[in-house]
Structure 1
Amino acid sequence: MSTRTETTEPTARRRLPPEERKRQLVAIGLQELSTRPIHALSIDQVAQKAGISRGLLFRYFPTKQDYYVAVVGAAARRLLRAAVPDAADPTADQLRAVVHAFVSFVDRHGDNYQSFFHGGFGADPQIREIREHMKNTMVERTLAATGTEPSPTVRMLLRAWWSMVESLAIDRTTDPVFTVDDVVDRAIDALPIPSGATG
């Protein structure tokens, strides 16, 4: 049996339009950060995989933090695309569909979810803004799914509720005493507003 030595070859250099190059770099970052925390992210390795120089990468993202913010933003957009009700089935339980999709997303990504949204540069104002946008979007989807009239009080309660849902989902990845369906059931049971509430 022959023995083959694995080597890491740099990707062949290829000229791409700026926006396409940025999308490529962010996609590589999503792959890299799915297996390691931000402090272990190698900009040199990202550049090598993209087939560009380190200096060129920093033309698109001036600092490592700027790059991380772009990658976290892309991860948030992926989550929001996943956590939507089934528009093809208007008779379905829309709230359950949203919560189940969210919990399942966290469950699939485990520690990586924590790394993206709560680790590394998690205290950075831009990362906080991404998290706030994500939570506010989930609140709006909850209002729509339950037919609830929005008000400042209702929105505050739902923001706190989504923090609880996220915490349950994260804890399940490290201590799976509940199934994903259990987490969804308990979350919906704890919803602080009744369906159709007027706020």
Structure 2
Amino acid sequence: MPLSRKAASGDAAPLRAPRRMTVDERRRLLLERGEQLFAEHDYADLTMAKIARAAGVSKPLLYHYFPTKQAFFVATLQRGAEDLSARVQPEPGVPLGTAARRSLGAYFDWIDERPVAFRRLLTAAAAEPGVRDTLLGIRAATVAQIAEALGHPDVEQAPPALRAALNGWLLFVDGCVLVRLDLGAPTRDELVEQVLLTLGGAVAATGDERALSALAAAVAPESDAD
């Protein structure tokens, strides 16, 4: 077949081979697909072979990035935790009450975007040690952040009663979220106020005056906190 005039004259655009993805790009795409898969399927129902097929990669390539299914799942959790941490990070210079409400609201919004994944995360945490360790690390970091806001910058030096109260409060919040997902109530803003008040009660029971003084602004009505 004769060449077209355009091709023969050398004006045709040269063919380019598709650019190969970098290691970081490939890993990011695998994690994005993994988040979807773990939200759609029970952890026990997924195998590395099924994940590889759904992600459009070979099983050896998937193993190259993640040695086990648990390692893959934990990596998706860490990615989600980084996203959540960025969302709930308090803004500098914002009053404590406003910052607390915004952080809690962002946390509930994050869960509302992935309710099935959140349920399965808690279920997997009870069965998989690696997942449980990841969640414990996230909770420990959250306790340290709250303790700092309540006047204890070094959580290790905070009173044990306060540390116990903050850890228990976080578990209470997750329980409230699960009930809200089942009932469709209370509203996001109502739940924010409810859990803030329960935080006040938990801290009051510890008798820690420094934390109580700092918390007073956070549990005040929004009009007073701004």
Instruction: Assess same fold via TM > 0.5.
Output: yes
Structure 1 segment 169-188 matched on structure 2, within 5 A: 169-188=177-196
- CA–CA distance in 1 between the matches of 2:162 and 2:125? 30
Q: 2:133 aligns with which of 129, 134, 142?
A: 129
The one-letter amino acid paired with 1:138 is: T
Match of residue 46 from structure 2: 41
TM-score normalised to structure 1 length: 0.78
SS of the residue 2:40 aligns to: coil
1:152-175 deviation per Cα after TM superposition (whole angstroms, max 9, x unaligned): 221111010011011101210111
Match of residue 60 from structure 1: 65
Count the aligned residue pairs.
Answer: 184
Task: Give unmatched runs, 5+ long, in structure 2.
Answer: 1-17, 212-226
- CA–CA distance in 1 between the matches of 2:188 and 2:112? 8
Structure 1 segment 22-41 matched on structure 2, within 5 A: 22-41=27-46
Task: Give unmatched runs, 5+ long, in structure 1.
Answer: 1-12
How far apart are 1:181 and its partner, in Å? Answer: 1.3
Match of residue 7 from structure 2: none
The one-letter amino acid paired with 2:146 is: T
Structure having the higher helix fraction is: 2
Change (3 A) 1:171 1:42: same
Change (3 A) 1:41 1:101: same
1:86-140 deviation per Cα after TM superposition (whole angstroms, max 9, x unaligned): 33x623622222222222222332121111x222464322211111111112212
Match of residue 122 from structure 2: 118
- CA–CA distance in 1 between the matches of 2:64 and 2:143? 36
The one-letter amino acid paired with 2:139 is: K
- CA–CA distance in 2 between the matches of 1:173 and 1:148? 33
- RMSD (Å) for aligned C-alpha atoms: 2.6
The one-letter amino acid paired with 1:155 is: R
TM-score normalised to structure 2 length: 0.70
Match of residue 190 from structure 1: 198
Q: 1:142 aligns with which of 143, 146, 156?
A: 146
Alignment identity in percent?
A: 24
- CA–CA distance in 1 between the matches of 2:125 and 2:190? 32
